[in-house]
Amino acid sequence: MVFPLLVSDIPIFHETLGDKVRYCNQQSVESIGTGLVSLVKEKKSKSSRIIYLTTTAGKKAQTSFPK
C-alpha cells in the first residue's frame, strides 16, 4: 500500500488505484471497520497521515484531513 486510503471495492477504483490503497465493502460495517483498524495500525507503525475519502452516488468525492 502506498497511500493511506480506504476505498470502496468497486472496479473503477481498482482500475485507477490498483494496489496502492486498501479496499473495503462499502455496504459492510465489518469490512469498513477492519479496513480502518488496519490503516490506524499502519499509521502508528509508519507515522503516516490517514485520509478519509467518502463518496455517494451522483456526488463528488469529499475529502477531509484529520488533525
Sole residue written with cell 502508528: 44
To the question of pTM greater than 0.85 for the whole model, the response is no
Region label for 58, one of left (φ > 0), alpha (ψ between -120 and 50) or beta (otherwise): left
pLDDT at 25: 93
Please write the tens of the pLDDT for every residue from 35-66.
988 888 877 666 555 555 555 554 544 444 44
* Residue ranges covered by each domain of the chain: 6-56
Q: 21 versus 53: which is more confidently predicted?
A: 21
Q: How far, in Å, CA of 50 to CA of 31, rounded?
A: 17
Encoded amino acid at 5, one letter: L
